[in-house]
Structure formats: C-alpha cells, structure tokens
Amino acid sequence: MLAAVAGLAAAALVLVPMAVNWLTNPADQRLVDLDVYRTAAIALVHGEPIYGFVTEPPQLLPFTYPPFAALLAVPLAWMSWPVAQVVMVLLIYGALALAVRYGFRPLLRRTGAWSPLALGVLVALMLCPMPMRDQIRFGQVDLFLVALCVVDCAAPRARWPRGLLVGLALAVKLTPGVFLVYLLITRRREAAVNALFTAAAATLFTASLLPWESRDFWLGALLEGDRVGSNYVTANQAVRAVLLRMYWPDPVTTAVWAAAVAVLAWTGFRYARRLSLLGASGRLSPADSWSAEQAGIAVTGLLAVIVSPVSWIHHLAWLVPVVGALAGDGRNLRRCSAAAGVWLFYVLTIPWWGTSHIQSAKPLWEQALGRIMQSSYGLGAVALLFVLGSWLVSEMWRETPAEHEDEARTDASMGMFTS
C-alpha cells in the first residue's frame, strides 16, 4: 500500500502540473485534436458529414481518421467540452501507464514490492519527452495505439484472440498495419489473420452503419494529402518530410523517398524479426527475452513513423518500448546509459532549435546544421532502428551464458523470410 501511494505521488508530481498547464491553455489552443474527434462525433450524432467540417478558427482542422474512429468517439459527444478534456487526459495517462508496465517489465519486476513506486517514477519520466508531452497538449490517440499493439504482441497470456487488439488499432488508424507484417514474419500467422479479420470486421460494420461516410473516407478523404496540413513544417518528422525540406525537384524527392522506404522497411522488418525470434528462443535470460520482444515491437512501431508520408512528433510515442527495451532490468550500465541518452534526446526540443539556424541570412554551413537539427527526431528514429537491431543485440550476446552464445547468435542472424 505504501509503495502504491508513493508511486501515485511520484507520478502526480509531473502528471498533474502538465495536465493543468494544457487544460488551462488558451481556449483556441487547448487539446485541439481532441476537439477534432469530438466534433466528428457530434456531426455523426446529428447526421452531418464527418469529412465535410473543420474545427473553429484559428485551427480549422478536418477529421482524417477512418469512420470507425468517429464511432468510438461518440461518447465524447455526450460530454461537455470541459469534461471531455479531463476524461481524455486521464485516458492518455492510463494508456501511458499500461505501455510503461509492459515496456519496462524486467526493471519493474526487479524492484519487487516497490514496483508500484518504480512504475509511478517511470510513468512520470516517460511523460517528459516531447512526443509524450504532445499527447496531452493536443489530446492525441497515439498512446492508445501503442498500448494496444504492445499488449497484444507481448502479453504472456491473452484472454482474447491474439491479433484482436492490433486489428482494432488498425481499424482506428492505418499506420498500425505494419504489425500485420510483424506478426507474419515472426511466425504468428494466426494472430495476423485475427488482426486482419478484426480490422475488416470493424470497417465493414461501420460501413453498414455509415455507408456514405465510409465512401467519403476510402474514396475521398484518404486520398487528399492536403487534409493533414503542410508537409514541410518542422513538426513533420517523416523521412519524406526530411527530403521535402531539402527542396529538391519533386521527381527526385519522390524517387529518393521510395528508395529510402524500401531500404528502411527491409532493414527494419529484418531487425524486428531477428529480435522477436531471439527473444522467443529460450536462450536468453527472462529479462533479455522480454527486452528483445519489446525491441522488435519498438522497431516495428518506429517503421510506421519513418515510412509514413506524414508523421508528426507525437507519433513517436513508440519511445516507451524503445527506452524500456534498452534499459532492460537495469543491470547493464551501457544499456541504461543508452536508454537515458535516448530519453534526454527527445526531451530536448532540438528540432525547434534548428529552425533558428535555417534563415537565408545565415552561413551555408549553419543552415545545413539547422536542417539536420530541424529533422533530428525523424533522423533519430532511423538511428534507433540500428541501435535496437544491431547494438542492443550485441549487448544481449554479452549477457548470454557462454554455452548458449553460439545458438543465440544463430537465432539472431536468421534470414528474414525463413520459416
């Protein structure tokens, strides 16, 4: 009981001030994405087109998610705006706590009876990186998607058909579709089928209730690239945005982006498979086995951010399993240092620092440095693929008992599509 109270107090030291800060923001800047979801739900309840509105000035934001997401948001339409904001913040905190509980399981188990306190401290710490702060600032859903995918892939015992939660995440937003590939290449074909069936069932059910809205999304809104706003802005950290900010001719940018996506997807999925199979091999310690699976999940989630045409900073909520996998059970100083470094990198607002160095009056070398800083979160996500898929694996080999080291190396280096 004492540990639980202490954990809640530790978490509240960060969670409460941050919630108060954003809930008291100027009205036209407060949880603006939550306003989009709630406005879509209100339009749905009143029988109005959910893809034909924009929110009140100055935001003027349209609804960009599949209609199934609007159905899930209907309870928000029954709440007053102040109540909806508080409820959303509490739900985001709950999703973060669940993701941390899974992502940092080896470290939490090591703390024993004091694990509730450790959980509270970790939740508070993981709310500090900018992608997490933006969850509260905008009222975003990314942590819900992270929690669904992490729990579905990593829960030791599932009381639901494996893949169900991934399918629900895919029905809400298309980017979790990368986990269909992850489930297939890690020999969880039944879970992949369940995920696909769940997403299809949710989509078809929604289409039966909302046929015109479904048509408007799949044949209209989904294909309108300008609905999400300017692709050039600093908040967009996708690889495509990094290339767009170089202002090359469009055909060159498109060709380079397509090549980069192909290389990164191949490399990332190969790393994800390697990590998952290594974790399931039974030749690592229980802590490292869990961390390997979390790293595979994290690599897959990062791929969704990297290869997507548009990825905002808040989409990097996959930092939870990234930092958790690196930290492991806290016994390896190099891994803990790497986890702390990644955490600090995303706490600092480096992309926004970069914008002050890209004015035309600056020397060319400073503008080039500014462009790198401006895209640092996206470039950092690319680097994390290699950190998790290569460096972390080598650290696990160091911790593997000598009699299993050769077998672990064999498992970790297996080809991507061997069965």
What average pLDDT score do residues 265-271 get? Answer: 97
Burial label for 372, CB within 10 Å (0-12, 13-18, 19+), is: middle
**pLDDT score, position 415:** 39
Q: Residue 418 above 90 pLDDT?
A: no
**pLDDT score, position 362:** 83
CB 78 within 8 A of CB 41: no
CB 88 within 8 A of CB 34: yes
**Tokens (6 digits) for 112:** 């024993």
* Contact residues for 26 (Cβ-Cβ < 8 A; gap 6+): none
Q: Helix, strand or coil for residue 180?
A: helix
**Tokens (6 digits) for 208:** 């039966």
**pLDDT score, position 6:** 85
What average pLDDT score do residues 35-40 get? Answer: 95
pLDDT category, 283, cuts 50, 70, 90? confident
* Contact residues for 28 (Cβ-Cβ < 8 A; gap 6+): 56, 57, 58, 59
- Quick check: is 184 in a domain? no
For tokens 């009205």, what's the residue?
A: 27
Model's pTM, two decimal places? 0.93
Q: Which domain holds residue 396?
A: 230-419
**pLDDT score, position 363:** 87
pLDDT category, 416, cuts 50, 70, 90? very low
Q: Residue 139 gets which letter from DSSP? A: T
* Contact residues for 91 (Cβ-Cβ < 8 A; gap 6+): 144
- Quick check: is 103 in a domain? no
User: How large is the C-alpha radius of gyration of the chain?
Assistant: 21
Peptide bond preceding 363: is omega within 30 degrees of 0, i.e. cis? no
pLDDT category, 414, cuts 50, 70, 90? very low
**pLDDT score, position 221:** 80
CB atoms within 10 A of CB 52: 13
- Quick check: is 135 in a domain? no
The average confidence (pLDDT) of the chain is 91
Can you tell me the distance from the alpha carbon of 321 to that of 133, in angstroms, rounded to the nearest whole number?
16
Q: How many CA atoms lie within 13 A of 362 on its CB side?
A: 14
* Phi, psi (degrees; rounded to nearest 5) at 312: -80, 165
**pLDDT score, position 244:** 93
**pLDDT score, position 225:** 64
- Quick check: is 254 in a domain? yes
- Quick check: is 402 in a domain? yes
Can you tell me the distance from the alpha carbon of 341 to that of 391, in angstroms, rounded to the nearest whole number?
14
- Quick check: is 110 in a domain? no
Distance of CA 121 to the CA centre of its chain: 21
Q: Helix, strand or coil for residue 312?
A: strand
- Quick check: is 78 in a domain? no
**pLDDT score, position 324:** 97
- Quick check: is 309 in a domain? yes
Q: How many domains does the chain have?
A: 1
